[in-house]
Amino acid sequence: MSMAIETPEAIETHELSKRYRRVSALTECTVTVPQGRVCALVGPNGAGKTTLLRMLAGLASPTSGTASVLGGAPRQDPTFLSEVGFLAQEIPMYRRLSAEDHIRIGTHLNQRWDASLAHTRLAELRIPLDQPVGTLSGGQRAQVALALTLAKRPRLLLLDEPFAALDPLARQNFLATLTSAVTDAAGRLTLVLSSHLVTDLERVCDHIILLAGSRVQIYGDIAALLTEHKVLVGPDRDTVPIGQTHRVVHTMATGGRSTRLVRLDGPVTDPAYQAEDVTLEELVLAYMGAGEASAAKHLTTVGEES
């Protein structure tokens, strides 16, 4: 029992669901993210990424299911709030107030607040402190918001589409800031970044949650997932023998040969198949396609019922 208390998962959800009127934004989401991980939350637009993040941050409440964040349910209490940093997609700030004003707001609204951290980061990036943040460029604003979120010294940092508004250079700066923050925290900081493109996150993440059609398609350690999955190239014939031992995620047939992305359950014994390593992007695309297809199928059946 003491073991469980020592290392609670940073995030643990059980059949977490959120409905907005009749639309299901997130359906029975069950995932875990261990502490100290950098987790990519990937999925097409409208897959439920924002909904999941907002529920984890305590800004939205689930319709059903449970979430445990750093050992407790997301709630309105100063201790919980001080441990979770959340940066919404819109990069919300008071446009007429300066970065310095925001740093001072942080000082007054947090028990634990590292103003010098924010000052140092903004000075490194040469972002003016005294100018209204509304007059800064999108990239600078994102950096200010990130510096403020980091100054809170959270144990869990939730960033919703942090790259959406950034050009490639700003993206690189932003990622560098994040990477150094993770390094500085030495395993104390868990990070969740959402994006609809996995390429944005590939270099920094070691964990992934893939959402499509409001459902979790796959989640877990990226390295483990990449060893578990293979691309099998072989003759375009009955897939039953492969489907029996392994799970075929995605099939693509081209000119008599087929390419199948499968989740392995044991070794591939059939010599007709050639097993190739899978890239993260291939993996994500395969599951995303499968998820979208099943979501579409689900919608059709619902339509037929009514």
Partner 1 sequence: MTWLVWRQYRAHGAIASVLLAAAAAVILVDGFQIASRWHSILVTCAGNSACLGQQGPLVNGVVSDLPYLSLILPVVLGMLWGAPLVAHELETRTSDFVWAQSVTRTRWLAVKTGWLLLAAGMCGGVLAALTTWWSGPINALSASAFDPGQFDTQGIVPIGYAVFAMALGIAAGTVARRTLPAIAVVLGGFIALRLLIAGVLRPHYIAAVTHYYSLTSSFSPPGQAWVLGQGAVSRTGVTVPQGWGSLGSVVPAACQSLLAGPATGKFGSMSAMFSCLQAHGWRGFATYQPAYRYWPFQGIETGIYVLLAAALIAVTFAIVRRRDA
SS (H, E, C) 160-178: CCCCCCCCHHHHHHHHHHH
Cα–Cα distance between 46 and 90 in angstroms, integer?
16
Q: Which is nearer to partner 1, 59 or 264 (CB)?
A: 59
Minimum distance of partner 1 from residue 86's CB (angstroms)? 4
Between the CA of residue 219 and those of 31, 58, 222, 223, 263, what are the distances in Å?
Answer: 7, 22, 8, 12, 13
- The answer to the question of residue 180 lying near partner 1 (CB under 8 A) is no
**Which string of x and - marks every residue 72-111 that binds partner 1 (by CB under 8 A)?**
----xxx--xx-xxxxx-x-xxxx-x---xx-xxx-xxxx
Q: Does 275 bind partner 1 (CB under 8 A)?
A: no
**Nearest CA-CA partner of 278 in 234, 222, 243, 229:** 229
Q: How many residues sit in the footprint of partner 1 (CB under 8 A)?
A: 34
DSSP string, 200-239: TTTTT-SEEEEEETTEEEEEEEHHHHHHHEEEEEEESS--
152 belongs to the binding site for partner 1 (CB under 8 A): yes
Rule CB under 8 A: which of 25-54 touch partner 1? 54
| Residue of the chain from 59, 233, 264, 285 that contacts partner 1 (CB under 8 A) | 59
What single-letter DSSP state applies at residue 135? Answer: G
- Selected from 60, 117, 216, 222, the binder of partner 1 by CB under 8 A is 60
Q: Is residue 219 within 8 Å of 209, Cβ to Cβ?
A: yes
Does 214 interact with partner 1 (rule: CB under 8 A)? no
Q: Does 117 bind partner 1 (CB under 8 A)?
A: no
Q: Is 272 in the site for partner 1 (CB under 8 A)?
A: no
> In 3-state terms, the chain is what percent helix, strand and coil (to 5)?
35, 30, 35
Binding site for partner 1 (CB under 8 A): 54, 57, 59-61, 76-78, 81-82, 84-88, 90, 92-95, 97, 101-102, 104-106, 108-112, 145, 149, 152
